[in-house]
Amino acid sequence: MTDGKSGPRWITETLHEEGGLRTSYRADRVLFEEATDHQHLVIFDNPTFGRMMSLDGATQVTEKDEFVYHEMMTHVPVFAHGNVRSLLIIGGGDGGILREAVRHAEIEKITMVEIDPAVTDFSKTHLPMVSAGAFDDPRLDLVFADGAKFVEDEGDGYDVIIVDSTDPVGPGAVLFEESFYRDAKKRLNEGGIIVTQNGVPFLQPAELQSTISKFHRLFRFSGCYLATIPTYVGGPMAMGIGTDDEFVRAVTLECLERRFEAANFPTQYYTPEVHKAAFALPAYIQRLVDAARA
């Protein structure tokens, strides 16, 4: 996409701008761009990463590497738990987490709470390959509401809660507050697990430490695991995890292999071996976690 004078248009990632870092993606075609009531959204095609979605200057999802994030956010807690019947997704309007969740036949109920209906509508239209029809699954209860207010209210319990939020700015900031985590814990069934996205520790150490310190006060086990996602620059991405069931961290490779074989679906990134290895933290990240727990 060009304007005839300045050449191709580049969509700039400004998430780490204060630290002196920008990343730009060439937009060969812009499919949609609009400021909604909640955020600025743009969907475009890039020759390397395929179709991409950016919210408020931060890349949210790309066609080519979304499977890494969505598989690791979903399958790690579900296979670690081993008996998930109900699952809650906070955010995740593109439907990628939902797509991976519906692959688990044993899950009976999936509730998805998205604050902005426009994100889901745009994703269904322009990123249908991400949800892959998951919005039509009969187990889904799709709710358009503030996720923080949803967990604050009385309601059903869940075995796993996945917080697929933006970074802690704008409408996503409330999903990093201790009051939200406390309310979410109240909605967890016994032995339940909460998983959050916590950015790239090399560039966003405070984001990870903030969540770990809050989880440490709320849960018997608090920690994180890692996944390498090409479009999230600066090293591996951290997923925070909190639970009162310490077996989640100690689940054996043999147990994970049995559960994965029984699930009987293919993956592109997740394997039982990757699951176990994801909890082996580089020293600089382990020090961040240890400091947050102190």
- Active site amino acids: 164
Query: What share of residues in the chain are helix, strand, coil (percent, to 5)?
Result: 35, 30, 35
Q: Determine the 3-state secondary structure of 220 from DSSP.
A: coil
> Ramachandran region of residue 91, left (φ > 0), alpha (ψ -120 to 50) or beta?
left
State how far the Cα of 194 lies from the Cα of 96, in Å rounded to an integer: 17
Torsion on CA atoms 187, 139, 275, 259, rounded to nearest 10: 110
Q: How far is CA 94 from CA 15, 71, 114, 159, 286, in A?
A: 20, 14, 10, 22, 31
> Largest Cα–Cα distance in the chain?
61
State how far the Cα of 112 lies from the Cα of 60, in Å rounded to an integer: 17
Structure tokens at 184: 């979410």
* Backbone angles phi and psi of 101, in degrees to 5: -65, -40
State how far the Cα of 1 lies from the Cα of 4, in Å rounded to an integer: 9
Give the β-pairing of 188-197 and 237-243.
Answer: antiparallel
Q: How far is CA 193 from CA 76, 82, 212, in A?
A: 10, 11, 14
- Report whether 90 contacts 162 (CB < 8 A): yes
- Report whether 119 contacts 93 (CB < 8 A): yes
